[in-house]
Structure 1
């Protein structure tokens, strides 16, 4: 854990008199402020603050440590940041799901590393939410519409989905004309984003939830893609996955008047303050890539050429 940042957090808590005030002032989540304070107390081996319902006060050990952290930060602030900000170097640790790594991160990562040869990137593939501090993650990429309000995040784009099936499946079982008719089909679904229903937007703009059932539920979209290419049923897939197969005619888009609900794509990080330049540049690169990739996928799906 970064002791300079921990010292900054501790000083800010002492200056403002509360963890919540320090959280607002530093643009850092309240749980993150608490973790930094807990780490400071672990390093010191003693309690640094007296906590009551009304106010915080320093323990004798906290008073001594405050003098030390103030001196530490004076030294740190005296170090010129110009050269550091102009150099993209060090290690950037990223956590994301397999789909996000394959379809969003990987397409731009190699070019990004070529542009910044002094940078090293470590990618952790996981469908589970990670503790950024405990696992020393600089950036977590998540696709969700239920973002925890206590975390620090930047929206990078939207994950657009499309309902589709193979021509063979539709020839045998027919094509649904409304979301309500999906209950009569084998709907293969992604476990992280469905709980017995799919969400759509009606032609008038109102949201619609349609009940579904099916014999396959997984947490990896590529498995759903393979299944419907083999005539197993209907699936709601990210357009980044489905677009080439729709363009080639291998998959047929369904319910065009009822687009699936958009999901947000977010970059989640520990603090808005003192971000590494590599992180700032990567976030911008991801945002630009997502916009271009979304436009390309839409163009593929509306193209009649194989």
Structure 2
């Protein structure tokens, strides 16, 4: 973890006499402040604070550490700053984590345009569906499709991700076409390992419907399930942005349109607003505009639980 930020956190805790107040003053989550304090104690090799439900005070090691942190911050503030306006232009590496399906469908195109506009920025794109630990993996932004976010992180809504049930004509020729979601029990459903593996959630007539499903293929990457559906393996629940081209050309058929799969949001997730580099700030603003232009739901229309 960044020692300069940790020093700033430790000083703020002592000035505000509260972890919650320090978190508010630094625009961080309380969990992040707690992590920085724990790391500071690990570096010091000693307990730095006495904490009770009503008070917070420094240990002897904490007193010494506080003085060192203040000296460190003073040195950092005295470093010469280039006030040339051009120096504030976006530059440097931005590390992004994203799922393969979303990266292929839109993010790769968005990043290509952003990098064309900001040639001093480079992007390291990490592909994977499992949620990564932003601090440990040194990820600046994670682009996630979800309905439930970690409350310890900061999330900026980019848009919505509607899903669609679909299957190939070959599969439907060999099996009865489902007329209601209850018919899915008799079908081979291709399920996603990290979400809805055994329970698909829908809205019908304004009411939620939870439907148990099963099948002989699950995967941790929705692109694999899409290819399996195209090959006739079963019924898949896919993001509309992935399935739409194949539905349009007849290689997949949309099923049960009157049943709406659970709405998911697309979010840019990051650990802290404090000292955010220009590259990350401008990329966030760019992505908000890009997702709207791509025809996904306007930012802010989906409110995840826990966000």
Per the normalisation by structure 2, the TM-score is 0.87
1:284 equivalent in alignment to 2:285 = yes
Q: Distance in 1 between matches of 2:44 and 2:70?
A: 15
Deviating more after overlay: 25-34 vs 56-65: 56-65
Which 5+ residue runs of structure 2 have no aligned equivalent?
Answer: 298-307
Contact preservation (8 Å) 2:179, 2:256? yes
Equivalent residue for 1:122? 124
Equivalent residue for 1:271? 272
Q: 1:112 aligns with which of 114, 129, 148?
A: 114
Shift of 1:82: 6.9
Task: Calculate the aligned-residue CA RMSD, in Å.
Answer: 2.3
Contact preservation (8 Å) 1:186, 1:213? yes
Equivalent residue for 1:86? 88
> Any residues of structure 2 matched to 1:1-306 within 5 Å, and which?
1-74=1-74, 76-77=76-77, 79=81, 83=85, 86-202=88-204, 204-295=205-296
Shift of 1:85: 6.9
Shift of 1:77: 4.8
Q: Distance in 2 between matches of 1:192 and 1:181?
A: 23
Shift of 1:228: 1.5
| Residue correspondences, number | 295
Equivalent residue for 2:303? none
Shift of 1:116: 1.4
More helix by share: 1
- What secondary structure is seen at the aligned counterpart in 2 of 1:164? strand
Q: Distance in 1 between matches of 2:86 and 2:135?
A: 23
Q: Distance in 1 between matches of 2:105 and 2:162?
A: 13
- What secondary structure is seen at the aligned counterpart in 1 of 2:202? strand
Contact preservation (8 Å) 2:160, 2:296? no
Per the normalisation by structure 1, the TM-score is 0.87
After superposition, the Cα gap between the structure-2 partners of 1:59 and 1:295, relative to the gap in structure 1 and judged at 3 Å, is closer
After superposition, the Cα gap between the structure-2 partners of 1:42 and 1:141, relative to the gap in structure 1 and judged at 3 Å, is same
